[in-house]
Amino acid sequence: MNRPRVVIAGAGFGGLTCARALKHAPVDVLLVDRNNYHLFTPLLYQVASALLDPGEIARPVRQLIRPLHNADFLQASVTGVDLEDRRLLTDHGPLHYDYLVLATGARTDYFGNASLAAHTLGLKELDEGLAIRNHILSQFEASRWTTDASERRRLLTFVVAGGGPTGVEMAGAISELIRLVLRKDYRDLDTNEVRVVLIEAAPHVLVQFVPSLRHAALRSLERKGVEVMLQTKVDAVTEESVNLAGSHEIPAGTVIWTAGVKASEIGRTTGAPLVRQERIKVADTLQVPGHPVVFVIGDLAGAQHGGAPLPMLIPVAMQAGRHVGESIADMVSGGGAKAFRYKDPGIMATIGRNSAVAQLSWLHLSGFPGWLFWLGVHLVNVISFRSRLVVLVNWAWEYLFYDRPVRLIVRARQ
């Protein structure tokens, strides 16, 4: 008798956790992803800011599932879902499933603004992190060739749009890269010509945090030389500048967009009802209504917690992945799916050297204690022991010697 086939679309935190939760279930698991690696996204900004190499935050999926004797992997781009015939559609052909878990994550949201899509750099994928690193370093090289002071200032103006954790971490990392490392590489660099600007439409950075931690993060950014512009909206971006609401313009050679995310495009292809941010509407069991063998987890799932949408965070995806794996195992054994209950472990963000904020229920940390806590949590959760060791060495080297080891402009041939 053939065992039920569980197809998991997406090898991110949710998909991989779900596969591991099915390790001892009497099913065959098939992971499908367009990339052959699992990415530790919390440290992607450190690839973009020349501190870590891609191999230190990404591991091959096939390596990670070796201990799962009932699991396999196929590299393919998911193009849709045929819910009636129980088929996951890919660019390599359809895959039949008995149970389906959709865990394809999120993508950058430009809110329909074509200029943002055309002239900004995103930070969701590994190739985007490398593109940012290449671009920042290339701007410094280009600035050495111009004698026009205003053009040099434009080349050396770096704008980060979005004051959430990703934007705050990216702005702090760029500032430290420039002021602690690149000023030594470019001995004739006038740091007064360099600008790092963080733009946020809300009245505060890190709006998810309590006021005391927001203020601590803002003070830390300003101490690191980041210009923070609050209650400011980006209207348009060109190759030469950022146009803000109110007709203000910032000449800039680099704009990094971290101000919006929405669910992956797979949601539209299912025909299932969508909710805010194009997430698939799900029952409290994370099943698609009318299709009990189809589950949605992570950023793609429009699940609720206390009447509000669950945040697009890694802990949500991992807890949901574990829950769905257990539900499928129960269903195979004749049971049923149970309601998902999210347990909030807290949130954190780093602003760079010696500075981070962490909000863990009643415990609020900032400054150096928050930074130590952030380091410990991220080091423990890095994908493999080898990666933990290399990341720790690179962090220690940068901390002691104010140096970043991967200041390389590398472009792959197509």
Catalytic residues: 169
Which phi-psi region, left, alpha or beta, contains residue 384 (left: φ > 0; alpha: ψ -120 to 50)? beta
Q: How far apart are CA 94 and CA 71, in angstroms?
A: 18
Q: How many CA atoms lie within 13 A of 147 on its CB side?
A: 0
3 state SS of 350: strand
Tokens of 268: 């539209």
- Give the span between the Cα atoms of 38 and 55, in whole angstroms: 10
Alpha-carbon span 295 to 99, nearest angstrom: 8
Measured distance CA(60)–CA(161) in Å, rounded: 31
In whole angstroms, give the CA distance from residue 317 to residue 279.
Answer: 13
Tally Cβ neighbours within 10 Å of residue 2. Answer: 6
Give the residues across from 350 on adjacent strands: 356
